[in-house]
Amino acid sequence: MPHRRFFPEDPKDGCRLIGSLGINKVAGNFHITAGKTLPLPRGHAHLAIFMDESDYNFTHRINKFSFGDAAPGIIQPLEGDEKIASKNQYTYQYFITVVPTVINTYSHRGSSFQYSVAEQSREIAHSKV
């Protein structure tokens, strides 16, 4: 994993993401955000009514992120990615394309997934047009 580019002097207060997702052969999305989740019949909503604008901080570091089982030689492009939010109201979006991969080497035979990433970030400014 790449070394940190920035070492915060304050106590750790950003999200640290670690995980692996199973996938189906359909388009989908997942998101991580602040607030309580409210399940609805056709989806869900996020309740952030009890949060003040100053409570938001979307600074994060992705320590581990993969699809499917681990396999040697596959580089996970988001691992080690670190974003420091310059403002409280800021969003980061990752657009991921996942590709099934067959691995056939002298030491490992199996299947896994690789992915590519495009990303976008911007300030959340509901008052601006």
- CA dist list (Å): 117 to 50, 77, 78, 97: 33, 7, 8, 7
Token reading at 67: 């699809």
Res 118: pLDDT:
92
pLDDT of residue 75: 84
The whole-angstrom separation of Cα 37 and Cα 82 is 25
pTM of the model: 0.70
pLDDT at site 116? 92
Give the H/E segment covering residue 82. strand 81-83
Host H or E run for residue 76: none
Kindly report, residue by residue over 40-90, the tens digit of the pLDDT: 888 877 776 666 767 677 888 888 888 877 787 788 899 888 888 888 778
Question: What mean pLDDT do residues 90-108 have?
Answer: 86
Domain boundaries, the chain: 15-123
| pLDDT for the residue 70 | 77
